[in-house]
Amino acid sequence: MRQVQCEGCGESTPDYDIVSYGTTGQGYRDLCSRCFNAEVAKHTGHESFANVSFEPIWMVDRAGERHEFHFQTRLLGDVVALDAFELRDGSPAGYRFQLVGQPGNDVFVLLGRLIEKMRRALSTQHLTDGEYGLQIADRTVRGRIEWDDSAAERTPLIVVDGQEISWEDFGRMLMTFEGWQFKLEISDPSEKL
């Protein structure tokens, strides 16, 4: 895991928790999310914003597998984004969730809502192991579109049930439904899926 020194408090911080923060005349500084939030709070008049760090938690999915989730809270002007994500080799990967609230909201209430969202997602499995490898279990697939750095073409890597699926493999899964129709809806990370 790459560690970066926060230019605010000087703490050694994992790079996924570093935000490049720029202000006019000062250039960019690499800040940990705590220092970043403090800066944003100062500039947006949300001084009363309570910066709470949450310890990682474990959750079990429908298949009985354990997932460790890390949390990050960011004050983004007039919204607060609370993210939960898994880490693989020190980088966010697998399941990822986001909830957006107002700076005045109780962050523990936001956390409660986020955990509810995570529970709901972890209790659903869209893919199942079939005769020919992974298959679509029912008729609905929910997932996330990510960058596939192993792909020569600019094709997405999709994450379903916390698993990375190449565009090619996903295409193969769809062939079970040859001749059927589909509907594709895209929504932002904080929206309900």
Considering the complex, what minimum distance in angstroms separates the CB of residue 17 from Zn ion? 9
Q: Is 9 in the site for Zn ion (CB under 5 A)?
A: yes
Q: Is 6 in the site for Zn ion (CB under 5 A)?
A: yes
Instruction: Tally the C-alpha atoms within 13 A of residue 105's C-alpha that lie toward its C-beta.
Output: 19
Considering the complex, what minimum distance in angstroms separates the CB of residue 80 from Zn ion? 18
Q: Is 50 in the site for Zn ion (CB under 5 A)?
A: no
Q: Is 35 in the site for Zn ion (CB under 5 A)?
A: yes
How many positions of this chain bind Zn ion (CB under 5 A)? Answer: 5
Considering the complex, what minimum distance in angstroms separates the CB of residue 76 from Zn ion? 17
Give Cα separations from 93 to 84, 87, 96, 97, 144 (angstroms).
Answer: 11, 5, 7, 11, 11
Element (H or E) spanning 43, and its range? helix 33-44
Considering the complex, what minimum distance in angstroms separates the CB of residue 98 from Zn ion? 22
The one among 8, 14, 94, 156 contacting Zn ion by CB under 5 A: 8
SS3 189: coil
Element (H or E) spanning 120, and its range? helix 107-122
Residue among 5 and 123 whose Cβ is closer to Zn ion: 5
The encoded tokens of residue 76 equal 């983004």
Instruction: Tally the C-alpha atoms within 13 A of residue 84's C-alpha that lie toward its C-beta.
Output: 25
Site stretch for Zn ion (CB under 5 A), options 31-39, 48-56, 141-149, 154-162? 31-39
Binding residues for Zn ion, rule: CB under 5 A, are: 6, 8-9, 32, 35
